Structure 1
Amino acid sequence: MSTEIVELVGQATPYLTAAVSAYGGAVLARTEDAAVEATANLGRRILHAVFRRGSQAEQAALEAAVQDAAQDPENTDAVAALRQQIKRALREDADLRKELAHLLPAPAAGPVTITASGERSIAAHTITTAITGDGHRIGQ
């Protein structure tokens, strides 16, 4: 298996699991929702890209892997089976590899150090939403 495929799937995995966790087994039927976290939407877009390029049998296998991962997102075997479906699709389709490479954020060029210091500090490589303090309600 090429290093490129392993790297793409490694980069995609957090997005895939976020999408499956957010949308459950309906992730392949879900349309984009601007209110849903960007990470889950990217995972959904990746799954849709793989799904639409597959044969009926490949689509059924992907759906089954998504359902298994959605039922228990903490099940490492189910997540690994989903990753295997993605790898298989990437091995067979160079255009899909290019599409996923464009969808995924570029990996960091080198080591990244992130430090948070102080009460209610936030540190992350990428933050989509952050609220510190008491009494805040998201979505209202």
Structure 2
Amino acid sequence: MDVAVVAGEVMPYVSAAVGAYGAAVLAKTQEAAAQSTVGLGTRILQRVFGRSETPGAAPGDGTGDGTPDDGTPGAGTGAGSDAGTDAGRRAGVAAIEELAAHPGDADYVAALRLAIRRVLEAEPELAREIRAMVGAPGSVTASGERSVAIGGSNAGLVVTGDDVKVEYPR
């Protein structure tokens, strides 16, 4: 598995989470992170960099519990105390804070993507977990009557209602 690809795939989610919550994204509770894209981004960031009880505090610095969303202490969240991994997590927290201060700036987005990539390279099992969180590439699911699933982008109309009139500009 190419962790660079996984790191790239998670960026829309984590960027949305940082945009919504700023540097406090690691301190958000699971209930507050339940919204679709923002919630998934928050859960990914908390899984990769650990949870912090204090906005802006690095996991493992005595202010956060470093536990993932499921409450299992240390599972894949830096409790392994590998010095390189801990440094990577601190770099990730710093990248989150910088992106929160400069929303949408491509350089800060790239810095966060690189921080995510470095942690995933150091922890292949975590990379597999994150890949599973975002789903298989290109997979889409639609369920229910008149549901629409678009894998990628759509440049046209999607109409699912009855008696809909589509008028094109003249």
TM-score when normalising by structure 1: 0.73
Q: Displacement, 1:112?
A: 4.8
Report SS of the residue matched to 2:2: helix
Q: Displacement, 1:9?
A: 1.3
Name the counterpart of 1:11: 9
Q: Displacement, 1:113?
A: 6.0
1:30 partner amino acid: K
Higher relative helix content:
1
2:120 partner amino acid: L
Q: How does 1:1-140 map to 2 (within 5 A)?
A: 4-33=2-31, 37-52=35-50, 53-54=77-78, 55-108=85-138, 112=152, 114=154, 115-116=156-157, 118=166
Alpha-carbon distance between aligned partners in 2 of 1:61 and 1:35, rounded to the nearest angstrom = 23
1:46 partner amino acid: I
Report SS of the residue matched to 2:94: helix
Bigger mean CA deviation after superposition, 77-86 or 59-68: 59-68
Q: Percent identity?
A: 39
Alpha-carbon distance between aligned partners in 2 of 1:101 and 1:43, rounded to the nearest angstrom = 13
Q: Displacement, 1:36?
A: 5.5
Report SS of the residue matched to 1:18: helix
CA, structure 1 residues 112+50, in 2 after alignment: closer, same or farther (shift >3 Å)?
closer
**What is the alpha-carbon root mean square deviation over aligned residues?**
2.4
1:116 partner amino acid: L
2:126 partner amino acid: L
List gaps (5 residues or longer) in structure 1: 120-140
Alpha-carbon distance between aligned partners in 2 of 1:104 and 1:28, rounded to the nearest angstrom = 18
Q: Displacement, 1:30?
A: 0.7
Choose between structure 1 and 2 for higher RCO, CA contacts under 8 A separated by at least 6 residues: 1
